[in-house]
């Protein structure tokens, strides 16, 4: 394990000490646990990001509902024709 020195506000240090006492853990363990939990939470989407992505998904779904099966089949056929002809290489 590596030792490190950090400057913390007095309120934060008091909270670490209270938590360590309440849980019966070392203060360093409380800090390690808190950092690990925070790191996991940071990887998740925020509520604003989640709502934005849901909006984008709903927009895409609405757009796809407006296309007929025939239009989709025609687009697929056009892509297949382009691939058979060599696409951009020809």
Q: What local confidence, expressed as pLDDT, does residue 90 receive?
A: 54
* Alpha helices, DSSP H, located in 3-68: 10-23, 27-42, 47-65
Rounded to an integer, what distance in angstroms lies between the CA atom of residue 42 and that of residue 61?
29
Domain hosting 52: range is 47-89
Do residue 70 and residue 54 come from a single domain? yes
Q: How many domains does the chain have?
A: 2
- Contacts of 66-74 with CB under 8 Å at 24 or more apart are none
Is 85 inside any structural domain? Answer: yes
pTM for the model: 0.51
Q: Are residues 56 and 29 in the same domain?
A: no
86: number of CA atoms within 13 Å, CB side?
3
Q: 20 with 30: CB under 8 angstroms? A: yes
pLDDT band at 85 (very low <50, low <70, confident <90, very high): confident
- For 25-65, write each residue's pLDDT tens digit: 999 999 999 999 998 888 788 889 989 999 999 988 887 77
- Do 18 and 32 reside in the same domain of the chain? yes
């Amino acid at each position: 394990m590596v030792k490190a020195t950090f400057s913390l506000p007095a309120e934060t240090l008091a909270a670490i000490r209270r938590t360590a006492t309440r849980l019966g853990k070392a203060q360093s363990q409380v800090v390690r646990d808190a950092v690990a939990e925070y790191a996991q939470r940071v990887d998740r989407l925020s509520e604003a990001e989640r709502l934005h992505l849901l909006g984008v998904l709903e927009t895409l779904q609405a757009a796809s509902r407006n296309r007929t099966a025939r239009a989709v089949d025609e687009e697929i056929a056009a892509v297949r024709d382009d691939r058979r002809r060599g696409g951009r290489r020809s």
